[in-house]
Structure 1
Amino acid sequence: MLATMTVTEDGRYSLRFERRFRHPQAKVWRAITETERLREWFVQILDYDRLEFDLAPGAELTFVPKAEHAAMGTGHGTVTRFDPPDLLEYTWDSETLRWELTPEGDSCRMVFTTIFGERESGPALGSGWHIGLDLLAASLDGRDADRHAWESLPADYERVLG
């Protein structure tokens, strides 16, 4: 299911994704908060050996790219909300990332929201985070992701959000 985009009260844009995982909330929480788990699915251009991702309210975060992506520059953020294992929110430069987890029996529902400034960024962010969440599901399931399913995502998000 594709993300939905809305305009925030302050005139920025919000993409909302909802996913259900057949895994307990605690396992999904570890996947979004532990560096070793992030390596398996999160932004693939990051150097996880140099990432500063110590989570606590107000903590400063540093997102260091791998050497071959150094031109993108190091990103910085701050933890704005931290309520384990239900809510994690932090900034990454001008973007806000919010992860809300709700247990549903032995499963977990995730609502992931990203807030950003330029509407034109919506299709690229939509397809990128969609792929990331598919990688998260595959990682949790212990399987390879279906990369062929991603071929149409940029065009789908451009059609829906562009």
Structure 2
Amino acid sequence: MTPSPTGRRETRDGHDSIVLDRTFRAPIESVWAAVTESDRLERWIGTWTGDPTSGSVLFRMNAEGDDTKPETFTIHECVPPRRITLTSQVVGEENVWHFVLELTEADGTTTLTFSQSVPDAEVATGVGPGWEYYLDRLVAAETGADVAALDFGDYHPAQSDHYRALFA
């Protein structure tokens, strides 16, 4: 079953970006931990190593296969538990990606607004469905659902046209 795409295009911190929201019936501190603590990230996307107080960490995705290259994530702004801005670069590659994660809480519900810079429509066809998939894995991890039950094949290429159109 293909989930409906939820992403939109916005300019975030000066970059054309794909922006997605997810809501959680949880305190903001819990959602913040789910997107910043390595052991919590491991449940849905990957792990990081290093010392974040140095301004960067090495991140490796865990659902992309064993030969996934680590990425250096540089932390530009960190305002717990509300906002973090990052850039990443796969070791040995030139592309730099800009990320913004913002959290708000109201009446026991926390909203995560996630964005990643996208340079063009063709890149958006993979980035958009990819983040739909990973953010749904985050929701599954935080609600106790089976993260492994989500299949990337349900997202890509089925959602690609939506994201291509956003950046055409």
**Fold shared per TM-score above 0.5:** yes
Identity between Structure 1 and Structure 2 (%): 22
* Alignment of 1:112 onto 2:114: yes
Cα root mean square deviation, aligned:
2.5
Aligned to 2:18: 15
Number of residue pairs matched by the alignment: 151
Extract unaligned runs of 5+ from structure 1: none
Alignment of 1:99 onto 2:101: yes
Code of the residue aligned with 1:59 in structure 2: it is G
Q: 1:26 aligned to 2:29?
A: yes
Compared with structure 1, are the counterparts of its residues 41 and 101 closer, same or farther at alpha carbon in structure 2 (3 Å cutoff)? same
Local SS of the residue matching 1:155: coil
The structure where strand makes up a greater share of residues is 2
User: Given residue 52 of structure 1, which amino acid in structure 2 is its aligned partner?
Assistant: T
Within-5 A mapping of 1:29-108: 29-43=32-46, 48=47, 51-52=48-49, 54-56=51-53, 59-64=55-60, 68-70=66-68, 73-93=69-89, 94-108=96-110
1:144 Cα offset (Å) = 1.1
Distance 2:100 2:125 in 1: 18
- CA spacing shift, 1:53–1:41, aligned 2, 3 Å: farther
Alpha-carbon contact 1:2-1:157 (below 8 Å) kept? no
Report if the CA contact (8 A) 1:98-1:112 is conserved.
yes
Distance 1:81 1:8 in 2: 14
Give per-residue Cα distances to partners, 1:112-137, cap 9 Å, x unaligned.
01113343111211111111111111
